[in-house]
Every structure is written in C-alpha cells, then in structure tokens.
Amino acid sequence: MFLTQQLPRIHSHFLISSLISHKPNPPKLFLITSTLLSESKPKPKPGPIPTSISHFSTLTPSTTLPQQQENIQLSTENLFFPPETDVASFKNATLSARILKGSNIVLGKYAGGSVDVVNADFVKSSVETKECPCDGIPEFALVGRSNVGKSSLLNSLVRRKKLALTSKKPGKTQCINHFRINDSWYLVDLPGYGYAAAPHEVRTDWAKFTKDYFLNRSNLVSVFLLIDASIPAKKIDLEYASWLGQNQIPMTLVFTKCDKRKKKKNGGKRPEENVQIFQELIREFFQTTPPWIMTSSMTNQGRDEILLHMSQLRNYWLKH
C-alpha cells in the first residue's frame, strides 16, 4: 500500500492513521534496550541504560518484559512512516532495521544523500514572519518552553558550541533566528514559551508572532517541538502540541535532556517514563502518534538520527 501525499505540507500523521487503522491486528514491536535481547548474555551492571543503545526487536505481543527494565513499547500503529512509505512491503525484521534509534521514526524511500553539516551560518534575526529570509529553501523550526534546550540542540546538530547563544536563565532567545545549513536549508531557533517571569505583553507578542510564523511560513517543512524529558509533562507543552495538531502543522516531538537521570530531582521518573506518559497524554490530539525522538545535547544522543529524519523530510518536500 502506498501512502500518497497531496498536501503542500507533510501531514503524514493524519493521513497514515486512517490507512493503518484498517490493518487487522498489526504485529507488535517493542523498543527495548539491547540488554533485554538475549537471555544468554551476562547480566548488565546495575545503573542507567543509555537509550542510545536502544534498538528494536520483534516479540510476540504476549511477551512480558521485566517491569524494572527501561523500555518503551511500540506497535506499528505508533510508528511514524514518512509519506509514500510502502508499509505493506516491510517484513518485521526489515522494519526494525529501518527505525531510528531512540525514536518511532521509520526511514522511508526519501532517506538518503549526505546528512553531514558542512557549513552552518547565522543569517538573521527577525521579529516578524515577513522579515524572515525569502529565498524559499526548506526550513525546520525549533520551538519549546524557555530553557528546554532549543539553542543547545541547534548547536549539537551543527557541531558548534556557540553558534546559537544559550543560557541557564530562561528567555535568552528573543527573535526568529535563521541559520543556513550547507547553503541549502535553514534551522530556525525560536524564543521559548511559558517564561513566567516575562511581562504579559511579551508573552502575548510571542504567541502572536510565532503562531503567525507557523501558519504562514510556506517553506516550513516541520516544527520540532522540544519537550524536557527530565521532568513530568507540563500543561503548556500539552496545549502547544494540541494547538499544532489542531492547526495541522507538521510536527516532530524532540525529547531533550535525556541524559538527566536523577529520579528524585526529576519528579521520580526516568526520561523513558516521561516520554511514554507524554505520548499517552497527547494521543487524543492526533489520530496517530507523531514522530518523536529522544535526545541530549550533552551527549549528542539523537543528533545523527534527527539529521537523518530532517533529510528525508527535506528530500520529500523538495520533490513536491
């Protein structure tokens, strides 16, 4: 079955749901840590299991995984298939091999080409959508609560420490900042929302100008909504995800700070648990799960995977 895409933007999580939901009893896949795979392997040393070593294994739905192990369960209906993916042609093993580590993202036929960042240059700061660069090349916007790690993620993606300015104090980024990558696409760093200390007018303006940007920027391939996975879900993040969903703005959820594993400090949950809870909370806003990925700008977890995901979205966008 081919998933065709007629819309100017990539709304695949809306389109795919209706097609996939007709499949009777889709096979279950479980994202598990590699230590769970082989019983003959020696027991891992106690301590956190980095999600960067996570991969997929096909297990029967009845297989039970030990409760104490960190894992995220996925089934085919919770995977993100890029547009025009021939879902039916994938055998489970092939499908498993095509899922990006620490995510629900399947590599489709538009994956390919070099994903390395060779050049990254700051281009301009804009306070309105109409001031943004107008050369029409594809772009991805990083959005999320103040201090969630947008600027840090941008620096991690381009392998530069200070291309985008970061700060421990929320509210550092104030404009729409365009960074040109490899002279062919943009990464856009946006100001954070939910900064309680910001004056009311600033918060209202933020909502106005970023929402205007999302709704009117025709070369916006996808929004990357950053969520802090080291703390429990915040109402404002759920509201944001819901707004993007309602307005059919293509979105990828990027879970940040997955290196922070101190349970007590982080509301008693590990990043994997917070990721799963967030999925459950947003389920009602979407017909099916949007693409999501776990990252850390400290360890660069998820960096290469995000670049691959962006590359396949870009390749698709350029061909349509």
Ligand X SMILES: Nc1nc2c(ncn2[C@@H]2O[C@H](COP(=O)(O)OP(=O)(O)OP(=O)(O)O)[C@@H](O)[C@H]2O)c(=O)[nH]1
Helices and strands of the chain, counted as H and E runs: 7, 10
CB 144 to ligand X: min, Å: 6
Position with the least CB separation from ligand X? 192
For position 146 contacting ligand X by CB under 6 A, the verdict is yes
Tokens describing residue 304 = 């290469």
For position 52 contacting ligand X by CB under 6 A, the verdict is no
Complex with ligand X: residue 144 or 250, whichever CB lies closer:
144
Query: Is residue 236 left, alpha or beta, with left meaning phi > 0 and alpha meaning psi from -120 to 50?
Result: alpha
Binding segment for Mg ion (CB under 5 A), chosen from 150-158, 233-241, 260-268, 311-319, is 150-158
Residues near 151 by beta carbon (within 8 Å), at least 6 away in sequence: 164, 165, 166, 172, 173, 189
For position 234 contacting ligand X by CB under 6 A, the verdict is no
> Torsion angle of alpha carbons 304, 255, 90, 67, nearest 10°?
120
For position 177 contacting ligand X by CB under 6 A, the verdict is no
For position 19 contacting ligand X by CB under 6 A, the verdict is no
Map residues 158-187 to x or -, x wherever contact with Mg ion holds by CB under 5 A: --------------xx--------------
Residues near 191 by beta carbon (within 8 Å), at least 6 away in sequence: 146, 171, 173, 174, 175, 176, 206, 210
Tell me how far apart the alpha carbons of residues 202 and 224 are, in angstroms, rounded to a whole number: 22
State which of residues 33, 52, 103, 151 lies at the interface with Mg ion (CB under 5 A): 151
With both helix axes pointing from N to C terminus, report the angle between 271-282 and 235-246 in degrees, rounded to the nearest 10.
50
Asked whether the beta carbons of 82 and 90 are under 8 A apart, the reply is no
The binder of 28, among ligand X, Mg ion, none, by C-beta within 5 to 8 A per type, is none
State which of residues 167, 184, 216, 247 lies at the interface with ligand X (CB under 6 A): 167
The binder of 50, among ligand X, Mg ion, none, by C-beta within 5 to 8 A per type, is none
Map residues 208-237 to x or -, x wherever contact with Mg ion holds by CB under 5 A: ------------------------------
CA 73-75-81 angle, to 5 degrees, is 120
Binding segment for Mg ion (CB under 5 A), chosen from 78-86, 127-135, 145-153, 175-183, is 145-153
Asked whether the beta carbons of 28 and 61 are under 8 A apart, the reply is yes
Binding site for ligand X (CB under 6 A): 144, 146-152, 166-168, 170-173, 191-192, 256-257, 259-260, 296-298
Binding site for Mg ion (CB under 5 A): 150-151, 172-173
